Every structure is written in structure tokens, then in C-alpha cells.
Amino acid sequence: MFTERMVFLNRISVHTSEIAQAAKTLRAGDSILLSGTVYTARDAAHKRICTLLDQGEPLPFPLENATVYYAGPTPTPPGLPIGSCGPTTSGRMDVYTPRLLDLGLKAMIGKGERSAPVVEAIRRNGAVYLCAIGGAGALAAQCVRSLEVVAFADLGCESVKRLEIKEFPLVVAVDCQGGDSFAQARATARGDAV
């Protein structure tokens, strides 16, 4: 149960099955170790998912309380579950994100700032945006226990994949109260009171 979460070296351990509950208490700047199921999807996959929604077709994974990782893993080397899988710039998905959040998406993992409409949709839906370390795809891959392509195989590295992860280190960038680590950093740099 999330109320019994453990804290390791000031990092909060969170399982994706508890992300909806965890999102209520996580705050911008919190460091977490995320375990559980995440789905990779970049802009091409997001476009197809929204087309499926427009057509009333089933989606490749349930959006309710889901966690999406904006990543396109490289080919899997022999003996490993995945190749390098660093985060993609999240702003590329901003045009699709409010709709997916309104349909139940609870967490997104990526890098970089989000637009004002996305920050508002995160707040409105009690969700959370998590940042991974850019440029550290090989390190991120060490947290992946398994990979399964679940949709759009023709997109290659941009196909939707179900990953099982363990203790993936992330930072809360935008919380469900509207706290925004990027806005806070800009305010601090300007010398504004935060």
C-alpha cells in the first residue's frame, strides 16, 4: 500500500500500480524510484493512439492509471531485455497529452518542460510528470527487466512497448498541485521568491 512506502536515500519508492494514489502526495522536486509496468510511446505512436480514439477503436493498452515513457529504445543486444532507452523530449507529445490525461493517463516520463495546457491537464487530472536523465539511456536500460512490443511494430524503435521496470530513478517535474520544477528553477535564477 502506498501509505507504507519506503524511502531510500531520500528517494521515494513507488510502484506503477499505485501511481494514482502516489500522484496525490508527490511534489515537484521529489526523487523517486519507480517500479512496475510502463508503456513506451513517442510522437508517431501518440498520433496513432489518437487516431484510434477518433475512430472508436480499442487502444493498445489501457489508459486508466497508466504510465507512459517517452522513449524509443535502440535494438536489443543479445542477452539483455532492451537496448539503450533514454527519454525523448516531452514537448513533442504536448499536442496529444491533455486528451490522454483526461482519459485516465496518470504519469508520463520524459525530459524537458511541458506546455501550459499540459501542466493544467496534469493538475486537473491529479497526474504527475516525471523526468529521467537525458543522455543516460544505457543507465536507464539497467532498470528494465522485460520488454514486449504491444502495438505498431512497423514503427520500429517507436513502437509501443510494455516494459517492466525496477527502481528507475526519476524526479517529479510537474505535480498534481501545479508545482513545476522548471518554473521554480527559472524563478530562482531570476531571484524571485519561490
Summarised one tens digit per residue, pLDDT across range 119-132 is: 999 999 999 999 99
- The CA radius of gyration of the chain, in Å to the nearest whole number, is 16
- Specify the pLDDT at position 74: 87
93 has a pLDDT exceeding 90:
yes
For the chain, strand residue ranges (E) read: 7-8, 11-15, 31-40, 67-69, 107-110, 128-131, 144-151, 160-174
Domain ranges of the chain: 2-190
Amino acid present at 171:
V
Cite the active site residues. Answer: 46
pLDDT at 193: 61
How confident is residue 31, by pLDDT bands cut at 50, 70 and 90?
A: very high
Top-level class of domain 2-190 = alpha beta
The answer to whether the predicted template modeling score (pTM) of the entire model surpasses 0.85 is: yes
